[in-house]
Amino acid sequence: MRQKGQKIHPVKSRDAGATSSQFNRVKLIFIGTPDFGVPALQSLAGDPRFKVAAVVTNPDKPAGRGKTLTAPPIKRAAATLGIKVLQPAKIREFAADLKKIAPDVIVVVAYSQIIPKEILELPKFGCINIHGSLLPKYRGASVIQAPIMNGDRETGVSIMKMDETLDTGPVIHQSKVLIGPLETAATLYDKLSSLSGEIIAPVLFDYVAGKIKPVPQDEKLANYVGVLKKEAGLIDWNRPSEELERFVRAMQPWPGAFSRVKETGQMLKINKVAPHRFELNDQPIGKIFHYKNKLAVQTGRDALIIERLQPEGKKEMSADDFVRGHQNILGATLT
């Protein structure tokens, strides 16, 4: 169960601000693409203090085996809410259209395009970003996977005022969630998405009303994490088993953790491993063997027990089922 978000911001300001009665209908533009931002959009659209004048999202793209033209999740959510949708190939080209809307604020969530300066400076209260980590610890793209891989006990959502560089703007608010012992990037994604929907409306309203003063980030604590490509999921069996256990969880669902059988070239996607350590170190690294009737692999330190996997071109299965159909896997080596 998701832990209740723990506030470590906002920092209250004593500066004179606008009264809440002036902002019963804050006009905003919502910019985003994947389903991560849907709870936030729904929260803002359902709050009588806000008017979502338009949604900006990426163009429809072909998807699936049939390459059917498919609308982004944010577009589908906006259609359900009856909100106008704009889908520029390049958002810079729509700056004039956004200026005509004259928003008080722009909210950005998981949008793959860089927001140009002319749009950042367009609204009176700036552009506000919902970021899926506790800034400045993780900036960049793979901010949900990074804390799992690094063994962090907590992460969270940061709401920040955007500037011209990536994830460097002052923080308006942060809320925390705990990272569970079996947490995957998929489950953490859902936690952070849901938390974003819970906090965005009250935090944004207090910010616009002058009740919150954004706090600059400490650059000395900043770390950048890049975009995960398919090859990032390749398992390095030289690493300790405790690191690889976290790695497998962090790679779910994308790009997935995988390895190849040296003797056959077969690719195996490793979907689930045992969460506990097995202090066995008498096999060559990458060697597959049975340990207490479990499928084990020797790592750089201790052995890793594989519970579920997916052979190339086949459906996911338990390790027991796989071994029954592939007895020659025992004694082979993963690379």
CATH number at residue 320: 3.10.25.10
Q: What is the pLDDT of residue 24?
A: 66
Shared domain check, 206 and 247: no
Q: Are 95 and 158 members of one domain?
A: yes
**Any domain includes 335:** no
Asked whether residue 284 is domain-assigned, the answer is yes
Q: What is the CATH number of the domain that holds 177?
A: 3.40.50.170
Q: Please check whether residues 38 and 167 belong to one and the same domain.
A: yes
Cα 143 to Cα 227: distance, rounded to the nearest angstrom: 9
> Which pLDDT score is estimated for 6?
37
Last residue of a domain, one of 174, 198, 224: 224
pLDDT at position 253 is 96
Same domain, residue pair 153 and 282: no
Residue-level pLDDT at 193: 98
Q: Does residue 1 fall inside a structural domain?
A: no
What pLDDT sits at residue 109?
A: 98
For residues 68 and 57, what is the distance between their CA atoms, to the nearest angstrom? Answer: 18
Q: Are residues 248 and 218 in the same domain?
A: no
| Model pLDDT, residue 236 | 98
Q: Are residues 167 and 25 in the same domain?
A: yes
Q: Which of 224, 245, 278 is the last residue of a domain?
A: 224
- pLDDT score for 66: 86
Residues 209 and 264 in one domain: no
Query: What is the reported pLDDT for 242?
Result: 97
Q: For residues 326-335, b (16+ Cβ closer than 10 Å) or e, as one string?
A: eeebeebbbe
Q: Please report whether residue 15 resides in a domain.
A: yes
Instruction: Show the CA angle centred on residue 321, arms to residues 271 and 324, nearest 5°.
Output: 135
Q: Are residues 55 and 145 in the same domain?
A: yes
User: How many domains, the chain?
Assistant: 2
Report residues of the chain scoring pLDDT below 70: 1-24
Range of the domain at 245: 230-329
* Residues 180 and 33 both lie in one domain: yes
**Domain assignment of residue 194, yes or no:** yes
Domain closes at, from 172, 190, 224 = 224
pLDDT of residue 15: 35
